[in-house]
């Protein structure tokens, strides 16, 4: 069989596996198989590409594979689930810098058309923005940088000026490829733009930013594929770019905000002191909470980032089993933007082997909330904040939330009365049917488990 035909057939097989694997990633019950299929597709694509090209030496390739495998295995073993959002942000950044370097390397070809030079420029531009933007996102998620928006006077003017300068550099690079100054200047400007584009975005918007940067990394890879004339890289990059945009749109709808509002509003930068909510907090001990849970016929668990911080997912699963053995129906309500990355809560609960059919999306849990005896909110704040429905002056007014306050009784597990990641006060804490259980979420749940065991 002709080598070119074999390569193209292998690429088609890899593309089909990519598409089907992406489809399987759309549901928690099939996501693991989707990940495996996508990994197999990438393995086929890499191996066939290496066999198709005139490789001078495989030594450096083998060294790169070994180093990458070692780093990946170490990260998979040692990174805590609480740090998963930061790691995803870094993955996006690595994808961006890889595309930048591939585009840069493509300049070594002796003759390049104007179209090829344009795609090289795009891969370098998008790759640079993705790399530094992802590093800033990592810093905000890891709290190495301040989570609140970082704003300064004339910020939009500066960013607009950077965009204009990048366009000019791109034009000069394509028309005068022999002058490398324009390329180096474009790289520097793209790196600066990535930083300045993400620093004004608040930490509460990071799930949207992560999915958007994921899309950017795919678009950069797609452009790099055109630059080096590799079909499977074009297909894979386009799939990642398109799926990232779709996910970003879903996340924006979940917050009832436009993408432009997320990117340019500086959400949470200015706090309205007139929106401070006061009332009487009604604390409850785990021992007293046990009696209410023991009599409940239905319980809804609403997890948030606090569950991730406390690493309480396994304890939650154990409490679920005890409640079910007591005749209580237990379900989980998952908000699309709960946590610090898309699907964060699903990943945590899947790690604890919580059945997928118990994970209900916001639109499925809300109609049932009025019939729920006890809603247990574990570390969630903004996604259960009734101010989104009740207070027109609130920054999150209009954002769809899980209506836990409609349940007969609400237990809120928090360390303190501190506001959530968005820095917005929550009137839920002062509702007549709300009881605050202060302390580490994992320890609180373990105390409840001991009460049931006794």
Find, among 224, 167, 208, 174, the residue nearest to 190 by Cα.
167
Residue 346 vs residue 51, higher pLDDT:
346
Does position 268 have pLDDT exceeding 70, yes or no? no
What's the pLDDT band for 108 if we cut at 50, 70, 90?
confident
Across 16-20, 97-101, 349-353, 361-365, least confident range: 349-353
Residue 273 vs residue 59, higher pLDDT:
59
Backbone angles phi, psi at 438, to 5 degrees: -85, 145
Task: Give the tens place of pLDDT for each residue, 362-396.
Answer: 999 999 999 999 999 998 888 899 988 888 777 77
Distance CA 207, CA 422 (A): 12
Does position 89 have pLDDT exceeding 60, yes or no? yes
What's the pLDDT band for 273 if we cut at 50, 70, 90?
very low
Does position 85 have pLDDT exceeding 50, yes or no? yes
Residue 62: the pLDDT is 87
The percent of residues above 70 in pLDDT, for the chain, comes to 93
Q: What mean pLDDT is predicted for residues 340-346?
A: 82
Does position 267 have pLDDT exceeding 60, yes or no? no
**Could you give the angle at the alpha carbon of 46 between the alpha carbons of 80 and 24, nearest 5°?**
55
Residue 163 vs residue 57, higher pLDDT:
163
Does position 360 have pLDDT exceeding 80, yes or no? yes
Q: What mean pLDDT is predicted for residues 180-198?
A: 91
Mean pLDDT, all residues of the chain: 87
CA distances for 58 relative to 10, 39, 445, angstroms: 21, 22, 54
Tell me whether residue 205 is one of the annotated catalytic residues.
no
The answer to whether 137 and 206 are in contact (CB under 8 A) is yes
The percent of residues above 90 in pLDDT, for the chain, comes to 47
Alpha carbons within 13 angstroms on the beta-carbon side of residue 394 total 22
Does position 251 have pLDDT exceeding 50, yes or no? yes
Residue 272: the pLDDT is 47
What's the pLDDT band for 269 if we cut at 50, 70, 90?
very low
The answer to whether 200 and 148 are in contact (CB under 8 A) is no
Find, among 265, 243, 231, the residue nearest to 149 by Cα.
265
Q: What mean pLDDT is predicted for residues 407-421?
A: 82
Per-residue tokens: 364? 């499925």
Residue 229: the pLDDT is 87
Q: What mean pLDDT is predicted for residues 156-183?
A: 90
Helix (H, G, I), strand (E, B) or coil at 420: coil
What one-character-per-residue DSSP string does 180-193 give?
THHHHHHHHHHHHH
Q: What mean pLDDT is predicted for residues 218-240?
A: 92
The answer to whether 399 and 256 are in contact (CB under 8 A) is yes
Q: What mean pLDDT is predicted for residues 115-124?
A: 93
Residue 70: the pLDDT is 93
The answer to whether 436 and 381 are in contact (CB under 8 A) is no
Does position 254 have pLDDT exceeding 70, yes or no? yes
Across 3-17, 114-128, 263-277, least confident range: 263-277
Q: What mean pLDDT is predicted for residues 217-233?
A: 92
Does position 264 have pLDDT exceeding 70, yes or no? no
Out of 382, 425, 432, 440, which one is annotated catalytic?
382
Does position 416 have pLDDT exceeding 90, yes or no? no
Q: What mean pLDDT is predicted for residues 292-299?
A: 94
Residue 197 vs residue 425, higher pLDDT:
197
What's the pLDDT band for 420 if we cut at 50, 70, 90?
low
Residue 288: the pLDDT is 93
Residue 200: the pLDDT is 86
Does position 447 have pLDDT exceeding 90, yes or no? yes
What's the pLDDT band for 419 if we cut at 50, 70, 90?
low
How big is the chain, counted in residues? 454
Does position 147 have pLDDT exceeding 90, yes or no? no
Alpha carbons within 13 angstroms on the beta-carbon side of residue 319 total 30
Residue 444: the pLDDT is 94
Q: What is the pTM of this model?
A: 0.80
Residue 305: the pLDDT is 85
Residue 277: the pLDDT is 66
Residue 204: the pLDDT is 67
């Amino acid at each position: 069989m002709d080598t070119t035909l074999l390569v193209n057939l292998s690429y088609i097989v890899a593309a089909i596996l990519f598409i089907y694997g992406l489809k399987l990633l759309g549901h928690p019950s099939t996501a693991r198989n989707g990940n495996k299929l996508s990994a197999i597709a990438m393995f086929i694509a890499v191996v066939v590409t290496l066999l198709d090209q005139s490789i001078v030496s495989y030594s450096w390739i083998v060294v790169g594979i070994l180093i990458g495998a070692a780093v990946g295995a170490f990260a998979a073993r040692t990174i805590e689930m609480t740090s998963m959002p930061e790691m995803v942000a870094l993955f996006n950044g690595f994808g961006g810098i890889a595309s930048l370097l591939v585009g840069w390397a493509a300049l070594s070809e002796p003759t390049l058309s104007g179209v090829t030079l344009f795609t090289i420029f795009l891969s370098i531009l998008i790759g640079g923005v993705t790399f530094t933007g992802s590093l800033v996102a990592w810093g905000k998620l890891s709290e190495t940088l301040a989570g609140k928006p970082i704003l300064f006077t004339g910020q939009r003017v500066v960013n607009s000026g950077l965009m204009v300068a990048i366009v000019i550099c791109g034009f000069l690079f394509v028309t005068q490829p022999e002058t490398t100054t324009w390329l180096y200047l474009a790289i520097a400007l793209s790196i600066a733009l990535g930083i300045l584009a993400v620093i004004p975005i608040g930490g509460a918007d990071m799930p949207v930013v992560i999915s958007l940067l994921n899309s950017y990394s795919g678009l950069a890879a797609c452009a790099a594929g055109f630059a080096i004339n590799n079909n499977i890289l074009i297909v894979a990059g386009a799939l990642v770019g398109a799926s990232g945009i779709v996910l970003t749109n879903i996340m924006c709808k979940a917050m009832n905000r436009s993408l432009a509002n997320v990117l340019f509003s500086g959400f949470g930068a200015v706090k309205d002191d007139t929106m401070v909510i006061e009332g009487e907090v009604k604390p409850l001990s785990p021992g007293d909470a046990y009696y209410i849970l023991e009599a409940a016929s239905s319980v809804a668990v609403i997890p948030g980032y606090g569950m991730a911080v406390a690493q309480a997912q396994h304890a939650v699963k154990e409490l679920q089993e005890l409640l079910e053995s007591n005749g209580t129906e237990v379900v989980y309500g998952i908000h699309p933007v709960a946590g610090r990355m898309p699907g964060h809560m699903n990943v945590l609960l899947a790690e604890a082997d919580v059945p997928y059919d118990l994970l209900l999306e916001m639109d499925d849990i809300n109609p049932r909330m009025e019939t729920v005896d006890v809603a247990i909110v574990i570390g969630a704040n903004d996604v259960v904040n009734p101010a989104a429905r009740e207070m027109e002056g609130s920054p999150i007014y209009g954002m769809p939330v899980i209506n836990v306050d409609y349940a007969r009784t609400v237990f809120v597990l928090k360390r303190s009365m501190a506001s959530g990641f968005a820095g917005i006060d929550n009137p839920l804490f002062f509702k007549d049917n709300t009881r605050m259980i202060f302390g580490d979420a994992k320890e609180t749940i373990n105390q409840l488990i001991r009460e049931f065991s006794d």
